[in-house]
Amino acid sequence: MLVLVINSGSSSLKYQLRELADDGTDAPVPVLAQGLVERIGVPGSGVPDHAAALEQVEAELAEATGGRTIDAAGHRVVHGGERFTAPARVTNEVIRAIERLAPLAPLHNPAAAQGLRAMAERWPDMPQVVVFDTSFHQTMPREAWQYALPDEVYTEHGIRRYGFHGTSHDLVTGLAAEHLGIPRGEFRAVVLHLGNGASATAIRDGVSVDTSMGYTPLAGLVMGTRSGDLDPSVVTHLMRNHGYDAEELDTLMNRRSGLLGLAGEADMRQVLENAASGDGRARNALDVASYRLAKYVGGYHVAVGGAQAIVFTAGIGENSAPFRARVLDRLEALGVAYDAEANRARVAGPHTISAPESAIPVLVVPTDEEQAIARLTWELAR
């Protein structure tokens, strides 16, 4: 089966064409083509809308398909709200529901809906599936997702913890359990998806029971340009006393904070390099980020009833041995010990980096969200 995986942004469209075997596993050459169409809707770009972007994608895929028909398309959608607890086949009502959820993800859901409508118009007979970042976290108990606000704030406005990176957390949870030989339904872990955006998830009995991101992806860990957890009164203070408006605050917290705000660099690799050269701001940024992350690991260790694994994944989690070491050094009180050589080694696939005496195994498990979306699409579209 040929599956086209689509990630529609407000001004971009990322795609990957994957081939799956009849049982849903990767074909010998799983990725046949991939690319990115940018500057959608920007005057002079030549790509006025998502329909034009898909026309460009179709032309780029012609050689990769070898004349074969693409069997299905799988779309990443950031926010499924409370309605979507699992992937869904695309219908007009599903698209309308995604549009109604736009207030929860104003930068992402409208673009996803535009991509879905453009796909349906261009390939009306192609089965389409939507996979939501939030779905995996719908298993969280109320004690984890509800904020301590008056009930009507939730019932009337939908303000609650939703969580994100669910497709990655779901995939990596299964791979980690398999690597350790533990049935997924019995698996307890803390999974750390660390990229430019970052989140921690508490896994109990193979499902999400808590996660660091909240109503939006701003909450939780220190990220590339996002602040993570912040006293809400900081927002009202800046509005009342320093003239910030809502847009300026959004820019401050989402685009000017995190590593960028602390160290002047959003890229973890550059922050580590600067810290090694004696840059005090970079060292402080690493201290703040690793301390915040270690706190979440400790809390989630309690939440799951004793983690059977701590799992690093995504760009920083998979590739930054120095940052992993900084975090793990803070977990000595949990009996965590890591093998420095194993931590530095480049290994393909899931692997263990903890020392034999570690009370909790520590793993590095590569994520592949496109693979996960393709597999989920195969399950619904076959």
Q: What residues are labeled active site?
A: 133
Cβ neighbours of residue 101 under 8 Å, at least 6 residues apart?
79, 80, 81, 83, 109
Give the length of the chain. Answer: 382
Q: Residue 10: how many CB atoms within 10 A of its CB?
A: 14
CA distances from 363 to 49, 116, 153, 247, 348 (A): 42, 37, 39, 40, 12
Cβ neighbours of residue 33 under 8 Å, at least 6 residues apart?
15, 16, 17, 60, 61, 63, 64
Strand, coil or helix: 7: strand
Question: In angstroms, rounded to a whole number, what is the distance separating the alpha carbons of residues 271 and 77?
Answer: 31
Strand spans (E) along the chain: 2-8, 12-20, 26-38, 72-77, 88-89, 128-132, 189-194, 198-204, 207-211, 310-313, 351-352, 362-364
Annotated binding site: 7, 14, 76, 193-197, 267-269, 315-319, 369
What residues does 14 pair with on adjacent strands? 7, 36
Q: Residue 341: how many CB atoms within 10 A of its CB?
A: 8
Annotated binding site for ATP: 14, 193-197, 267-269, 315-319
Cβ(163)–Cβ(213) below 8 Å: yes
Strand, coil or helix: 245: coil
Crossing angle, helix 321-329 and helix 280-303, to 10 degrees?
60
Question: In angstroms, rounded to a whole number, what is the distance separating the alpha carbons of residues 75 and 5?
Answer: 6
Task: Give the Cα-Cα-Cα angle 334, 211, 299 (nearest 5 degrees).
Answer: 25
Question: In angstroms, rounded to a whole number, what is the distance separating the alpha carbons of residues 213 and 201?
Answer: 9
What residues does 15 pair with on adjacent strands? 6, 35
Annotated binding site for substrate: 76
